[in-house]
A and B are shown apart, each in its own frame.
Chain A
Amino acid sequence: MNVGGWGSPNDIFNFAVYYLLVPSIFIFSAGATYRIVKLLVNTKWSKVQKGHNGWGEIIKGLIMTFLRPIIFSAKVKPDDFIAGILLLHLVGVIPVLFLLGQHISWWSYYFPAYKALWIFSVPESISTSVLTVTSKVIPSSSMSFTFVNTIWGPLVVILNGDLMSLFILIAIGYKCAVRLTETVMKHNISPARYGDYIAYLLLFLIVFFGYAAARHWPSENTAVYRNVLGLHVLFAELLFMYIPFSKYWHFVFGYWYGKLHEWYDNDIKRGEMEVEL
């Protein structure tokens, strides 16, 4: 078997890692460049009578620009806050993608400086950094304490790959259920966009196959494992290519541009005038 070589793509893992990676980077880069250039080409600077804002207000404004929607949603749409912000983002995709041990290892391979984040590594399971509590494989750890010894201490009860993957899957399920119910009941608070379902489906598949691969499901056979892990990587690459053409752009650019623009617009540009009479 051609394990990890540049031969023909004899399994999904091989195809995903050695054949699709470069095209996916190319498509992502082309799409991202197109979107950023489009913004630059259409940029118009306008003059204003700027507000007279102190640094304290400006910094407070920056913090509040990011916090305000989160506080607002927690107050007025708690279900959306729990599913969309908390489960999907804060204890879901963000820590899994950037801090899960396996992912830190992956990031560090391509970007060696990323190794600095090993100290914040999140284990896959509450009881072992290697395999999951639900795995059929007996954990090989000989540690005497209950929790994996990480910087997160008892927080590892929540901050573990097992649970966070489930959070993401539950959140996606909830979001889709709400969307579908709204559409069926003809009571759409936000528009029914087909692209959203593609986005959710891709994320669901990535997490699902990542979860399955981590516990060697449905079989401990290496060939099956490579295909399941391969599907995880393959769907991640599909999503990567889809980013510049979908709502996932917010993750890379849209959210940061939007919030920083809002901050500039509200807290730097506008504000009281200085009066000297």
Chain B
Amino acid sequence: MSAMGGDMDMSKMMEMLASQRTDIKTAIKKMLSKIDAVTIHYIEDCLNCGICAPSCPFYKAGPEYTPVNKAEQVRKIYRKEMTIIGKLLGGLANAWEPKDDADMKKLMDLAYACTNCGHCYYTCTVGIHSGTMVGLLKSMLTAAGYVPTILNLFEAVEVNNMHMKIPGLAKLWNDAITEAQNKYGAIEFEKKGADIFFMGWLTDAFMMREGFIATIGILNKLKELGISWTTWKEPLAVRAPISVVIGRGENAAQVVSRIAKYVDELRPKYVVLMDGGYPYPVFRFNMYNTIVKALGKKPEWKIIHITELLAELLRAGKIKFKKSNDPITWHDPCQLGRHSRVFEPPRVVLKAASVGYRDLPHNREMNYCCGGGGGIGCMLREVRLMMGQIIGQEIRISPEEEEFERRVEEKHKIAVRRKMEDIAKVQPKLIATACPACVETINRGIRWFGEELGIADAKAIHISEYVVDKLEITKH
């Protein structure tokens, strides 16, 4: 059977992925070649004060999972490979490098206990971004073939632009698009020169389906203001670029370039994302250089989030919301919040839509991560089984990886609980957010701990879903 629907089956895909792996020594060299001035600061200037520790969602999973301990693995390798004292004294200078399978698996356990939420960056005494260090570690592990199967698989699907050839995935997109059009009117696909290009991912259509449909609804309503918009008929990625989650920079560049060229041909003024997860900072900051390189110039279009658009229209008095008193809160997705510093627009929108809005006790820079980012929320057994059903073939993993998956879930539960306890303190009925991993994780957390913490009837949703039917155009 052509198991995944396209012209490549699962076993062939896995063979292809396995052939990409290199030996550990080469993987280390590859990782070290990515080091620049800022990473040298991250590596060499750690004071070892441990103040970062309590900010990490995995802190309570064990002392080895503190940001400084995870980042230390990269430091040890750096000392061994790049410093004279490390080469001479080895362990005495805290220099070390992985030698075998067992070492690499230990590093896997550490690397996939980091969501790159960036909280430790803000609490570090000397401004070290340990999430970036863990990203380097992941790049080394991935290069040597140590990468969770589900992430590896979907990355390959995205890089090879195969997602829409898989009937199960294509159906999810097409059904959501059809429903959005039935509910909110027609979409003008691939229209050149529109004000807005809506960059909706495949994951938006199936992990935040209602929010995806609602975002289309919002954009269609904004036409009354003379704002034109368009989108792609088929998304050019699952959630671009998945490669950054596992540290395959070259593949990420390939996907981002492909999308940038496509968008540039449509010449929009703004690229609007509803996803406030990693795609937002990747396109605006982390890989903007790649976009400039791919286009040979700075793009004319600006990348914004749907909440930035709505907040601006509110400030300009062009729209308003029917006010309710729903007890609603905002969970800052780490990538939109800490990584991009878009803190206020969603609050402006929610406060305009509900007098019952309340901030979480930990918010903005100090927001508690939900615990599901960095691919961790996708590496759970239930997600793997569900994805297998969608693509029409079971995603099989080795018993050893099943054990790894179980350990990831244990730690994930600890991280999720911290978030749930924070949410419970303000007793919201709705937790608005903007990242599919956050929506899934918070709803999973409510399932796990809701009864115990008294928030069993709360629900996490995408912010568009909450405001779409309250939106009113005031100025034409």
Q: Which residues of A contact B (CB under 8 A)?
A: 35, 38-44, 46-49, 51, 64-65, 68-69, 72-73, 76-77, 80, 84, 182, 187-191, 193-196, 245, 247, 249-250, 254-255, 257-259, 261-262, 266-267, 269-273, 275-277
Contacts and interface: CB of A to CB of B under 8 A. Distances in A.
B126 A72 contact: no
**Secondary structure call for the A interface:** helix
B304 interface: yes
Interface stretch (B22-30, B44-52, B198-206): B44-52
B47 A247 contact: yes
8 contacts: A42-B35, A69-B123, A80-B50, A190-B53, A190-B69, A254-B45, A275-B312, A277-B195
Given A49-B284, A68-B365, A277 B44 contact: no
B313 A262 contact: no
Nearest to B293: A47
A257 B339 CA distance: 20
A200 to B, nearest CB: 11
A259 B270 contact: no
Nearest to B222: A277
B315 to A, nearest CB: 9
Interface string B177-208: 00000000000000000010000000000000
B436 to A, nearest CB: 22
Given A190-B68, A272-B342, A258 B313 contact: no
A77 B340 CA distance: 27
B340 A275 contact: no
A39 B40 contact: yes
Contacts of A262: 121, 124, 127
Nearest to A46: B289
Contact of B38 (A247, A249, A261): A261
A277 B313 contact: yes
Contacts of B284: 48-49, 273
Nearest to B94: A193
Contacts of A48: 284-285, 288
Given A42-B36, A275-B270, A72 B55 contact: yes
B456 interface: no
Contacts of B63: 182, 187-189
Interface in B39-78: 40-41, 44-51, 53-55, 63-64, 66, 68-69, 72
A107 B93 CA distance: 34
B154 interface: no
The 8 residue pairs across chains A and B that have the minimum distance between CB atoms: A262-B127, A258-B127, A254-B45, A190-B50, A258-B126, A275-B312, A76-B54, A270-B341
Given A49-B288, A194-B94, A277-B312, A255 B302 contact: no
A69 B41 CA distance: 18
Nearest to A260: B127
A74 to B, nearest CB: 10
A245 B64 CA distance: 26
Contacts of A44: 36-37
Interface of B: 35-38, 40-41, 44-51, 53-55, 63-64, 66, 68-69, 72, 85, 92-94, 121-128, 195, 225, 227, 269-270, 281, 284-285, 288-289, 292, 298, 302-304, 308-309, 312-313, 339-342, 344-345, 365-366
A250 B312 CA distance: 42
Given A38-B40, A273-B304, A275-B304, A261 B53 contact: no
Contacts of B122: 68-69, 72, 266
B475 to A, nearest CB: 12
Nearest to B316: A277
Nearest to B67: A190
A82 B68 CA distance: 20
B40 A42 contact: yes
Contacts of B126: 250, 254-255, 258-259
A73 B51 contact: yes
B411 to A, nearest CB: 16
Contacts of B93: 194-195
A262 B365 CA distance: 13
A188 B69 contact: yes
Contacts of A72: 51, 54-55, 122-123, 366
Given A46-B289, A258-B127, A84 B38 contact: no
A65 B125 CA distance: 9
A47 B49 contact: no
Given A254-B126, A270-B285, 20 more contacts: A40-B37, A42-B36, A46-B288, A47-B289, A187-B63, A189-B68, A190-B69, A194-B92, A247-B46, A250-B47, A255-B125, A257-B41, A257-B45, A258-B45, A259-B126, A261-B41, A261-B127, A269-B285, A275-B302, A277-B195
A271 B341 contact: yes
A18 B239 CA distance: 66
A35 B83 CA distance: 12
Contact of B36 (A43, A196, A254, A270): A43
B342 A49 contact: no
A241 to B, nearest CB: 14
A272 B37 contact: no
A189 B288 contact: no
B68 A249 contact: no
Contacts of B270: 275, 277
A265 B205 CA distance: 32
A267 B66 CA distance: 26
A270 B312 contact: no
Contacts of B309: 275, 277
Contact of B288 (A47, A191, A194, A258): A47
Nearest to A259: B127
B115 to A, nearest CB: 18
Contacts of B41: 39, 254, 257-258, 261
B341 A51 contact: yes
